[in-house]
Amino acid sequence: MIATPSIARLLKPSALVRTTIIGSITTRNFATHPPTGHPLEILRKSAAQQMLCDSDGVRRPNVHWVFQLAVAQPFTAPPSLKTVNFQRVSSLGLDFIMKSPDGDYPSTVSVLRERPPVSILYTSGNYMPGEKAEQWRGEGRVEEIKLKDIISIVPHYSIVGIVASKRASDQMHKIEGVITQPSSEPIETEVHRTRIEKHTKFIELVQKTRMELENGNVSPEEIEATITAFRFVPDRMERMVGGPDMVIWDRWEWLLQEDAQGAPSWNVRHLLPY
């Protein structure tokens, strides 16, 4: 009679192999070295590798490269959430532009000028075999910066769109006789939005503005009055990277701190992915 191997004996080798594999993965996971350097420099290098920006962190031409900016509101109103284009990323912060407020109407720009706490969300990559997806979150504040320090790297189509929108808003006010007055509502609870009356007329205005800009007929004063430049300066950043080829998402956090002499540095922590 042929002896039949026991179930325990049959399972034992595979169990040992599985234990070895899991143990190996666990060891590698806990042996992960923390990322070195400034978190925004790590973001810049990652974006440069994906051909979203150049080596200086400036957005490449015709590249869609955006992040979400959230401004807290009272519990009676939803937060103000904007999608803005990266213009440049550096160790100083994330530079972006927005349309300046229409008169005294409440706007996100008006709120940001009060330097409230804000948060950002940025995602890139693809969750596909052989690739990785990347998510950045951050908290901090925004600082208004001089437009002349960034206007040279802002794409013409962004300038055209913002200037044309400002011109359309001004024309609507004149046509309808709208009188711009300070809002009676607190600035944090109301954001003004302007409607388009005739889309074809607006497209004509955009084309006219584009031609004027290309011919040098849009004055620097008009651009300065129309566009506001900001820089997001974080005090906390978080990066999570994952993909089908990874066992689990890898998540790191940077907290800005100061030593006894007031010198800033980043404290890095490895976090659970969920």
Distance of CA 205 to the CA centre of its chain: 30
Mean pLDDT throughout 162-186? 65
Whole-number pLDDT of residue 183: 46
Tell me the per-residue pLDDT of 82-132, one tens digit each, with 9 for 90 and over: 999 999 999 999 999 999 987 666 688 888 998 999 999 999 999 999 999
Contact 70, 80 (CB under 8 A): yes
> Does residue 175 have a pLDDT over 60?
no
Whole-number pLDDT of residue 80: 87
Nearest to 226 by CA among 173, 151, 172, 174: 151
Contact 93, 39 (CB under 8 A): no
Q: Can you name the residues that pair with 71 across neighbouring β-strands?
A: 80, 118
- Other residues' Cβ atoms within 10 Å of the Cβ of residue 120: 21
Whole-number pLDDT of residue 174: 62
Burial class of residue 163 in the structure, from the number of CB atoms within 10 Å of its CB (0-12 exposed, 13-18 middle, 19+ buried): buried
Whole-number pLDDT of residue 264: 86
Tell me the per-residue pLDDT of 185-205, one tens digit each, with 9 for 90 and over: 444 434 566 777 788 989 999
Average pLDDT of the chain to the nearest whole number:
83
Q: Domains of the chain, with CATH numbers?
A: 35-154+225-271 (2.30.110.10)
Given pLDDT bands bounded at 50, 70 and 90, which one contains residue 34?
Answer: confident
Coil vs helix vs strand at 189? helix
Q: Which residue has the higher pLDDT, 24 or 199?
A: 199
Report which secondary-structure segment, H or E, holds 230.
Answer: strand 227-242
Whole-number pLDDT of residue 192: 60
Distance of alpha carbon 100 from alpha carbon 110, whole angstroms: 8
Q: What's the DSSP call for residue 152?
A: G
Q: Name the pairing type of β-strands 93-99 and 227-242.
A: antiparallel
Whole-number pLDDT of residue 101: 85
Whole-number pLDDT of residue 30: 40
Whole-number pLDDT of residue 17: 39
**Backbone torsions φ then ψ of 73, nearest 5 degrees:** -130, 165
Given pLDDT bands bounded at 50, 70 and 90, which one contains residue 3?
Answer: low
Given pLDDT bands bounded at 50, 70 and 90, which one contains residue 21?
Answer: very low
Tell me the per-residue pLDDT of 151-162, one tens digit each, with 9 for 90 and over: 999 999 999 999
Whole-number pLDDT of residue 196: 77
| The token pair that represents 98 in the structure block | 């927005």
